Amino acid sequence: MATTPFGGAGNALAGRLAADPRLTALVAGGLLGGGAALMGLLTAVGGPLVGFGAAFGIAAGLFVLTNLMAGLYIMIGVVVLAPFATLPVRFALTPTFIDVALGGFLLVYVFQWMTRRRAGFRFAPVQLLIGAFALYCVFSFVAGLGHAALTTSVLRKFVELLLAMLTGVVLVDVVRDAATLRRVTWVLVLFGAAQALIGIGLYLLPNDPANRLLNALVRFGYPSGNVLRFVEDNPDLGERAIGTWVDPNAYGGVLVILGAVAITAALSAKGRARWLPYALTLPLVGTLLLTQSRGAWLAFAAAGLFLAVVRFRWLLIVGAVGALAFFTLPFTQSYVQRLAEGLGGQDLATQMRLGEYQDSLRLIGRYPLIGVGFAGAPDRDVYLGVSSTYLKLANSTGLIGLAFFVLILLEVFRYGFQHWRAMESAGVLTLWLGFAAALVGVMVSGVVDHYYFNIEFHGVAMIFWAVIGLAVATTRLSLSHDSADALQ
């Protein structure tokens, strides 16, 4: 008899059900009746969308509890497509869709260890650094409570940040063979392309119907009202694509990561269908342009330059042609002007950023080592909000925390470059380059955007730490020639 995720107790119950058909019928009837009653109650309270959504969610949850990889794929889909969605039923602390999906994935992962279906933890040095960084964040969080009141919302969001880090550690162990790695990469690219198409569709729609569509997400915790975003909040200056990510800069930061992964997935594709990943990459790049996030543009260019320098020299020609078209074509001149204004510090958004940087440096000067935590700033003339991942890290965790973060990124690259030939022999080098290029994009975008280490943007943190985990997993699996124990 197959082993259930719940171990001996689950096997014993399964045995009793198999031996007694009446008990089986009684349990099945009770589950069907209870499920129908629950669906009817949710439909009456929240409407048919909530009721059928709950039924689908329960079915998906049961499937996840029997298949770890299904849980991983569903988690990726939820993070990319519905990063801010919460359960439509309100509790004292309503969980998000990401909380539920991530919880299910980690629960099955733990069950596999408890039932001995998983053995031989896959270790890489960066996992120790991530663990040490997470513990240090806890220390900074607790130390910061001396000058800021703790709320359930802040605590919950901080725990979500820790779980995002844990996901990066777990993925190194979960992705144990090249076939699994390629499937996970494809899932990232497919969901990324779907999110990009959503962004393009909403951008092309007139403002009123696009706003109504986004307002339909209100019952799932999304903001209401005029949620479309424009350059400097002025409709006359042009709309900014947001998809279902609410914020155009966060949207652009995520598209940088997914776009870099998609490009290298296309470069590594073989066979008759190798055109497909290129087709999926196009909407990602196009939507990235429509976000009008200048930091994301520069980050994506840096990711492409990294790929061109370390492996694909012909991309230098493609990049040069693309840059020439960008700076000379008539319909791109508004984007060129916006980029020039940002680099010259001429527009309001850039000037506000420069002011934030000055205030952030003042805070770091007062609390240089461990920062002020995550709940709030101790002084009235300083604040935690700043549009830079590095400065935000230093504000919350001090220069020590910033050093941990930089060391983690450097270790990912050191580990990969050290085992370059092993990855090439295993046929996964191009995939690693995609994750590495995505991290290069993060490192550049992080100078002017704060979403990669912000408790308010759990989805961005999830994707960032997942890419770190996948990059390390790619290197780690290339060192093992025994993939027979890979769990599907």
Does residue 23 carry a pLDDT above 80? no
Report if residue 21 sits inside a domain.
no
Provide the CA 192 distance to its chain's centre, in angstroms.
11
Q: What is the pLDDT of residue 465?
A: 96
What pLDDT is stored for residue 7 in this prediction? 46
pLDDT in tens, 466-482: 999 999 999 999 987 44
Residue 483 confidence (pLDDT):
41
pLDDT value at position 151? Answer: 86
Rounded to an integer, the average pLDDT of 263-277 is 77
Identity of the residue numbered 310 = V
Q: What pLDDT, on the 0 to 100 scale, is given for residue 255?
A: 96
What are 206-240's pLDDT values in tens digits?
Answer: 999 999 999 999 988 899 889 999 988 888 888 99
Kindly state whether residue 259 falls inside one of the protein's structural domains. Answer: yes
Whether residue 155 lies inside any domain: the answer is: yes
At 195, give phi and psi (nearest 5°). Answer: -65, -40
Q: Supply the mean pLDDT for the chain.
A: 84
Whether the CB-CB separation of 364 and 399 falls below 8 Å is answered with yes
pLDDT value at 112 more than 60: yes
The one-letter amino acid code at 407 reads L
Flag whether 423 is in a domain: yes
Report the pLDDT averaged over residues 176-192: 93
Domain that holds residue 180: 128-478
Record the tokens describing residue 147, joined without a space.
Answer: 């000058």
In a domain, 70, yes or no: no
> Which pLDDT tens digit goes with each residue over 276-301?
888 899 999 999 999 998 889 999 99
Within a domain: 46: no
The band of 485, judged by pLDDT with boundaries at 50, 70 and 90, is: very low
In a domain, 99, yes or no: no
- Residue 229: left (phi > 0), alpha (psi -120 to 50), or beta? beta
* Per-residue pLDDT at 478: 92
pLDDT value at 9 more than 50: no
pLDDT tens by residue, 420-452: 999 999 999 999 999 999 999 999 999 988 899
Structural domain includes residue 92: no
What total of structural domains would you count in the chain? 1
